[in-house]
Amino acid sequence: MSTSTTAVHNNNKACCTIPPVHSNYTPKGAYKPFGQFNRVYVTGPDSSENAIVCIYDIFGFFPQTQQGADIIASTLKTTVYMPDFFEPDPPFPAENFPPKSDKDKAELQAFFGTTANPSAAVTKLTAFARDLKTLGRKRISAYGFCWGGKVTLVSGGENTPFSSVAIVHPAMLSADDAKKLTVPLGIYISKDEPISEYEKILLLLEKKPFSAQNDHKNYSNMFHGWAAARGNLENAENKKEFEDVYSKLVEFFHKTLF
């Protein structure tokens, strides 16, 4: 296991230096009921005034995704919540992705239309953030992967409860969603997302009143899923970029949440 750290280029080095990333990882948080969810992965100090919500990818809870949440929580000294958006249903089977047969493709589309319906998840996410505010959290941000990226981006529109949102290798990426943003966005894509939509979003972000707070990076050497459930942290390049994107997320949230 590596014991290296990745420093973020930020004035607050102590705040923005992530802990070691491990290929074999045991999550540090715990599952608790909160709001409308029976199961929420919670990591970080209970006493933090602010909070960050993670929206996992279609494979649900995975050690790689939870390690990322633990990194953000411990580095920023804030609580990170990862609700089980698919409960009571199971996540999409990792062994069926990417879909190869017509049957597999149909099952994936059915999953997006039911268990992982983006509109329903946006409603749940917004309600969860408002529940956190009733708990006393003053400012809340969110980040999401794959399907969760779509949900997170849409949740940053008018009347959003979030101070900022970030998306990593997002599915269903659309510049139309970015047009409605009212808070800063961090966007980090892989080679598998549509570069045309990404470039349109960057142009839109330049015109927003919060343009100086936005952040972005194209990880053109990475595949869809490298920073979450499909990440292979045994692979040196994947591990390096995993460290890099979580450094970027830490820096982005340090700038927009605190």
The answer, as to whether pTM is greater than 0.75, is yes
* pLDDT values of the chain reduced to their tens digit, one per residue, 258 residues: 333 333 333 334 444 467 788 889 999 999 999 999 999 999 999 889 999 999 999 999 999 999 999 999 999 999 999 999 999 999 999 888 888 889 988 999 999 999 999 999 999 999 999 999 999 999 999 999 999 999 999 999 999 999 999 999 999 999 999 999 999 999 999 999 999 999 999 999 999 999 999 999 999 999 999 999 999 999 999 999 999 999 999 999 999 999
Query: In the 3-class helix/strand/coil scheme, how is the chain assigned residue by residue?
Result: CCCCCEECCCCCCCCCEECCCCCCCCCCCEEEEECCEEEEEEECCCCCCCEEEEECCCCCCCHHHHHHHHHHHHHHCCEEEEECCCCCCCCCCHHHCCCCCHHHHHHHHHHHHCCCCHHHHHHHHHHHHHHHHHCCCCCEEEEEEEHHHHHHHHCCCCCCCCCEEEEEEECCCCHHHHHCCCCCEEEEEECCCCHHHHHHHHHHHHCCCCHHHCEEEEECCCCCCCCCCCCCCCCHHHHHHHHHHHHHHHHHHHHHHC
Annotated domain spans of the chain: 14-257
Q: Domain 14-257: give its CATH code.
A: 3.40.50.1820
